[in-house]
């Protein structure tokens, strides 16, 4: 989270989601490479090269690569390595959620070896002990983003259930996460235990920001899911304290709102700049 915080200070809050489906790749690039692995990787590489100076972090959703079998996972591995070579923090969106030895193996798989990332996403709904196998890695510079109040329309069916004390499930979890994070406090005041808070539920997001002043947010839902820059500003602390993800809005920018017929990587860069500037314009700075 220290690397993320510093990256946001330098480059703004944009997180580019490399949720790359083969059908997103322009036909001309697909024809240039014979394998799905190369098609996925070189598309990602062009996006990274075009945006790395204006992007705080990249989030890679593993499902898009798993769907292509070993070729896809090789592209996933190469993409992670390429981003980390550039000294840019990378988030592996794996949404793992298990306990004990199984969670230890997930931690080993995604915090070391061929699939090593700086941060990963975790599903905590088996209980708070789903987080504990990751703690040794947090002490050595890694981070986790825990699903808290997600951006999907159906999230409230579970996350908004109220207890006998009139607290929602997500509020109870928020209190637990903020408390768990206290043992790992960083110099910048945040914790390596972050939270996923979708910007499609603004009232809940504002409440959570007040409840969790030391928790770094990963904010999905911008753009394609309906979240706006004004919404996102409520999730930040003086313009930091979170990164805002956009995937299709950036990867597919060349297919829409592209009157100058920019190449796909140039169109993605333009989309990142627009997003960064829109959020910066409405975010409060100390």
Residues known to be catalytic: 95
Q: Supply the angle between the helices 36-51 and 264-282 in degrees, to the nearest 10.
A: 40
CA dist 91 and 250 (Å) reads: 17
* Secondary structure letter of residue 222 according to DSSP: B
Residues of 65-78 as b/e, b for ≥16 C-beta within 10 angstroms? beebeebbbbbbbb
Residues 217, 195 contacting (CB under 8 angstroms): yes
* Helix or strand holding residue 94 (H, E): strand 90-96
CA 255 to chain centre: 23
Residues 176, 221 contacting (CB under 8 angstroms): no
For tokens 């002990």, the residue is: 129
Q: Which residues pair with 61 in a beta bridge?
A: 93
CA dist 45 and 267 (Å) reads: 14
CA dist 180 and 276 (Å) reads: 31
Helix (H, G, I), strand (E, B) or coil at 238: coil
Closest CA to 135 of 206, 193, 78: 193
Considering only CA atoms, give the Rg of the chain: 18
CA dist 98 and 106 (Å) reads: 9
């Amino acid at each position: 989270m220290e690397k993320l915080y510093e990256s946001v200070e330098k480059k703004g809050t944009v997180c580019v989601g490399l949720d790359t489906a083969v059908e997103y790749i322009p036909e001309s690039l697909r024809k240039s490479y014979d394998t799905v692995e190369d098609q996925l990787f070189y598309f990602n590489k062009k996006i990274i090269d075009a945006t790395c100076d204006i992007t705080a972090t990249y989030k890679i959703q593993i499902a898009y690569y798993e769907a292509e079998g070993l070729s896809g996972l090789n592209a996933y591995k190469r993409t992670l390595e390429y981003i980390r070579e550039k000294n840019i923090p990378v988030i592996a969106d794996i949404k793992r959620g298990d306990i004990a030895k199984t969670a230890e193996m997930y931690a080993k798989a995604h915090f070391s070896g061929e699939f090593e990332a700086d941060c990963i996403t975790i599903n905590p709904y088996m209980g708070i002990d789903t987080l504990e196998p990751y703690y040794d890695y947090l002490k050595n510079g890694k981070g986790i983003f825990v699903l808290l109040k997600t951006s999907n329309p159906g999230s409230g069916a579970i996350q908004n259930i109220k207890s006998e004390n009139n607290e929602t499930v997500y509020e109870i979890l928020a209190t637990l996460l903020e408390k768990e994070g206290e043992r790992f406090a960083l110099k910048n005041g945040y914790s390596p235990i972050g939270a996923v808070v979708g910007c499609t539920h603004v009232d809940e997001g504002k409440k959570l920001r007040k409840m969790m002043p030391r928790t770094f947010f990963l904010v999905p839902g911008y753009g394609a899911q309906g979240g706006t820059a004004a919404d996102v500003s409520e999730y930040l602390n003086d313009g930091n304290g979170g990164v805002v993800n956009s995937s299709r809005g950036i990867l597919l920018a060349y297919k829409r709102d592209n009157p100058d017929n920019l190449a796909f990587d140039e169109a993605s860069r333009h989309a990142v700049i627009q997003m960064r500037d829109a959020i910066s314009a409405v975010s409060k700075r100390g």
